[in-house]
Structure 1
């Protein structure tokens, strides 16, 4: 798949997950700097997104996920994964009133980005 950023080609590291693949495990960091693995969420329905909360589109996206999460019940957990630092994620959630979406960061080990083939090598960010 050809991916570009501002019209320029970029390189995605890792192997992209395809429909039917088993979701690879990964470790990310929560807002308290604690590790969280996908395998820790076993038995729960989990939706993963990869926005950067520091952009208007992603801000809108996470706010909408938070709103929709209230309709899904307590057995559904939505995690938003980005390269944003956990401190920034926590500060943004508090300011935006985000209480149903859990923000986690891939900044430290980049396992999510690499395991899902969405880590942008040239920018150190995650693609959508």
Structure 2
């Protein structure tokens, strides 16, 4: 009887640990971590590295305004966060980005532009870089 309780407790403990690990894979609170300037470290187009976006940056403020020099969405526009998605609205044209990961210093965005998948690995700019 005692060994059954130990087995159940062990299985319950393993289940709780697996649940905790699976929750840790989701990005943290995007709303809190996103504001600031993010500069490109690496970009891929169709899974292949591309250098054509070498100077790419995104700036997000806490009021829902963003700035970028992404060629198809240059300038200032509004944005909304919904789950793991950022939706940029520039004059009625919506560009959706998926936040693959975010920390206080790194941001990975995925998007599809003109039927081509892109991934942007960005670093938060420090005060002297801005």
TM-score normalized by the length of structure 1: 0.29
Greater strand fraction, Structure 1 or Structure 2: 2
Greater helix fraction, Structure 1 or Structure 2: 1
Could you say which structure has the greater relative contact order, defined with CA pairs below 8 angstroms and 6 or more residues apart? 1
Please identify the structure whose Cα radius of gyration is greater: 2
